[in-house]
Amino acid sequence: MELDLDRQEHGRAEIDISGTLDLGMGEGSPDTATIAGSLEVQNLESRFLVSGQLQASGPADCGRCLKEFELQWDVPVSLMVIRNVDSDEEEGEMLVILQSRGVADLQPSLRECTVLAYPQSPVCREACKGMCITCGIDLNHEVCKCKNEDYDPRWEGLPE
């Protein structure tokens, strides 16, 4: 997950990306993710624009039933490597790497893109029924016998 600044030809090129990233996102989220895909690199003399979409996968806990499953998600990548290390240039939403020559390590920026693209509440499948809020059984495998009454004692004092 490197970009050789000195050997990159002028114009557009494609680089293949594959590997494992340490995400460190906490409980219920993957510690590591496998990413793969290709990114377009535009060599514009004083800067390199790197963009595209990668695919990531890793173990996650379902937000409904709490079962672990293998999650796959898209990772949009948009970053810029600026060869002028004294630059204070910012490109809004774009990640910026300052490096004048040699090999630029894209891994920290790709990690950030992967973490930002991670779904807020992943589900194992769209039809997942989740868990009963009263007894906690998995509604995908069992039928709950709890009474689902929409009773709220705060409304008792109000006239009908």
Residues contacting residue 150 through CB under 8 Å, at least 6 positions apart: none
Tell me whether residue 137 is in a domain.
no
Tell me whether residue 92 is in a domain.
yes
Asked if residue 83 has pLDDT above 90, the reply is no
pLDDT value, residue 77: 92
Tell me whether residue 144 is in a domain.
no
In the structure, what pLDDT confidence band is assigned to residue 71 with cuts at 50, 70 and 90? very high
User: What is the reported pTM?
Assistant: 0.76
Number of helices and strands in the chain (H, E): 1, 7
CA distances from 3 to 16, 38, 50 (A): 10, 13, 10
Asked if residue 91 has pLDDT above 60, the reply is no
Tell me whether residue 154 is in a domain.
no
Q: Is the dihedral of CA 48, 21, 127, 147 positive or negative?
A: negative
pLDDT value, residue 72: 94
More confident residue, 48 or 83: 48
Tell me whether residue 40 is in a domain.
yes
More confident residue, 18 or 92: 18
In the structure, what pLDDT confidence band is assigned to residue 99 with cuts at 50, 70 and 90? low
Tell me whether residue 133 is in a domain.
no
Q: How many domains does the chain have?
A: 1
Asked if residue 54 has pLDDT above 90, the reply is yes
Task: Name, of 78-87, 115-124, 140-149, the range with top average pLDDT.
Answer: 115-124
Q: Report the distance separating Cα 142 and Cα 129, nearest Å.
A: 10
Q: What would the DSSP string read from start to end of 34-83?
A: EEEEEEEEEE-SSEEEEEEEEEEEEEEE-TTT--EEEEEEEEEEEEEEES
Domain that holds residue 17: 2-128
In the structure, what pLDDT confidence band is assigned to residue 1 with cuts at 50, 70 and 90? confident
Q: Quote the mean pLDDT of the chain.
A: 84
Tell me whether residue 13 is in a domain.
yes
Tell me whether residue 139 is in a domain.
no
